[in-house]
Amino acid sequence: MSAIATVLPERATHQQTRTFNQQLVLRALHDHSPLSRADLARLTGLTRTSVGDLVGALIEDGLIEEVGRGRSSGGKSPILLRVAPDGRHLIGLDLGEAQFSGAVVNLRGEILRSIHLPLEGRNGEAAVALVLQLVDALRADDRSRLLGIGIGAPGVIDTSTGTVRWSVNLDWAELALGQLLEERFDVPVVVANDSHAAAVAELTFFRRPRPNNLIVIRLGRGVGAGIILNGQLFQGDGFGAGEFGHVSMGGAAEPCRCGRQGCLETVTSMPALIDAARAVEPSIADETGLVDAFLAGDAGIRRIVLAGARELGIAIGWMTGVLNVRHVLLVGPVAAFGDDWLAEVRRYARSSVLALLAQDTHIEFGHVHDDVVVLGASALLMEQQLGLGLVR
Ligand SMILES: [Zn+2]
């Protein structure tokens, strides 16, 4: 166990210092539980008196709990502590797919309950109403103390204010979603891009050892990437890092919902693939129908889906040439196309960048379940409110 680094503003107020020290204690317990008060003093560099005081307050607040006694090193055996898993509950939302998903999550990142509400073509105000309905439904049966709401939404999101600057697929522009929910539910709200949230989830919960750099590409209703550089989420100068679904690819000329044409989304996103497939096979109505036809070996459908895989591969090759990030994970509904599709992505990624870089780049499927954005948004909220959970 190494000591935990401490960075505090030089002219911190008493309250800032206390919050900071509380977060040090929580973070140490989160990362190394169970620990005694003496362990905590050693790990955080705080005095035993401070630790005792902070621990008392955190127990009273329900955030940490005693879990029995540890081995004695002579005297009385020490009481061990941990973060109380259900000391707070969080709500995590994923607004990036054909159905809005939400879950109640505890402080361990465990999903306690989830709800899915189909979007059914809604956008604008109607989509906002669906978000409120989803949170209401999740709150209905949960009487625990709520830490807040974490949201992964598609598009360019100003995470500093919780404003959706532009979401093409939901037809939201300059929507103060975070503020709206904070006023309605009276809890802190974090809003982030859904692909960024997926990257945070992969790094926080699923990748061991944690890679220093990581790209997570979410492929479903839209196409976007979350980029982790040097252990931190990289959002870009205007929060738009990874918005490569709306980058024009040379070959394609289909009109895009963003008002331009030839975007990567027009050949790789699930709705684009379903539209193209329906033109050859009118019976295909949804994602399941398309995936089934692809896996059954329908030649026309395979041609369409693999053409999308190729464009994606080329785009990944570009990213490799720009960033040289070795770990690339693919998540979202499009991953259901499986190994043949992945092989095509890899082939084109490899052939579109310097061999020296391509040979060290690993393109794989990420966490396959549909809760990756919900968990990532929850992790962002835990980090903001308690200093827990996120990449360091
Ligand atoms: Zn576009």
In the reported structure, the alpha carbon of residue 337 is separated from the centroid of ligand 1 by a whole-number distance in angstroms of 23
In terms of Cα–Cα distance, which of 31, 149, 366 is closest to 39?
Answer: 31
Instruction: Report the pLDDT value the prediction gives residue 210, as an integer from 0 to 100.
Output: 82
Distance of CA 378 to the CA centre of its chain: 8
Instruction: Report the pLDDT value the prediction gives residue 303, as an integer from 0 to 100.
Output: 97
User: Which tokens sit at 126?
Assistant: 């109607």
Instruction: Report the pLDDT value the prediction gives residue 392, as an integer from 0 to 100.
Output: 42
Instruction: Report the pLDDT value the prediction gives residue 250, as an integer from 0 to 100.
Output: 72
In the reported structure, the alpha carbon of residue 322 is separated from the centroid of ligand 1 by a whole-number distance in angstroms of 21
Instruction: Report the pLDDT value the prediction gives residue 87, as an integer from 0 to 100.
Output: 94
In the reported structure, the alpha carbon of residue 246 is separated from the centroid of ligand 1 by a whole-number distance in angstroms of 4
Instruction: Report the pLDDT value the prediction gives residue 70, as an integer from 0 to 100.
Output: 82
Instruction: Report the pLDDT value the prediction gives residue 204, as an integer from 0 to 100.
Output: 84
Instruction: Report the pLDDT value the prediction gives residue 251, as an integer from 0 to 100.
Output: 66
In the reported structure, the alpha carbon of residue 272 is separated from the centroid of ligand 1 by a whole-number distance in angstroms of 11
In the reported structure, the alpha carbon of residue 11 is separated from the centroid of ligand 1 by a whole-number distance in angstroms of 46
In the reported structure, the alpha carbon of residue 303 is separated from the centroid of ligand 1 by a whole-number distance in angstroms of 22
In the reported structure, the alpha carbon of residue 259 is separated from the centroid of ligand 1 by a whole-number distance in angstroms of 6
Q: What is the 3-state secondary structure (H, E, C) of the chain?
A: CCCCCCCCCCCCCHHHHHHHHHHHHHHHHHHHCCECHHHHHHHHCCCHHHHHHHHHHHHHCCCEEEEEECCCCCCCCCEEEEECCCCCEEEEEECCCCEEEEEEEECCCCEEEEEEEECCCCCHHHHHHHHHHHHHHHHHCCCCCEEEEEEEECCEEECCCCEEEEECCCCEEEECHHHHHHHHHCCCEEEEEHHHHHHHHHHHHHCCCCCCCEEEEEECCCEEEEEEECCEEECCCCCCCCCHHHCECCCCCCECCCCCECECHHHHCHHHHHHHHHHHCCCCCCHHHHHHHHHCCCHHHHHHHHHHHHHHHHHHHHHHHHHCCCEEEEECHHHHHHHHHHHHHHHHHHHCCCHHHHCCCEEEECCCCCCHHHHHHHHHHHHHHHCCCCCC
In the reported structure, the alpha carbon of residue 254 is separated from the centroid of ligand 1 by a whole-number distance in angstroms of 9
Residue 131, CA distances (Å) to 148, 184, 299 in order: 15, 12, 39
In the reported structure, the alpha carbon of residue 253 is separated from the centroid of ligand 1 by a whole-number distance in angstroms of 11
User: Which tokens sit at 81?
Assistant: 């502590």
Instruction: Report the pLDDT value the prediction gives residue 74, as an integer from 0 to 100.
Output: 76
> With a cut of 50, which residues of the chain have pLDDT below it?
1-6, 391-392
- Give the max Cα distance, the chain: 78
In the reported structure, the alpha carbon of residue 247 is separated from the centroid of ligand 1 by a whole-number distance in angstroms of 7
In the reported structure, the alpha carbon of residue 162 is separated from the centroid of ligand 1 by a whole-number distance in angstroms of 23
pLDDT tens figures, 119-155: 998 999 999 999 999 999 999 977 889 999 999 999 9
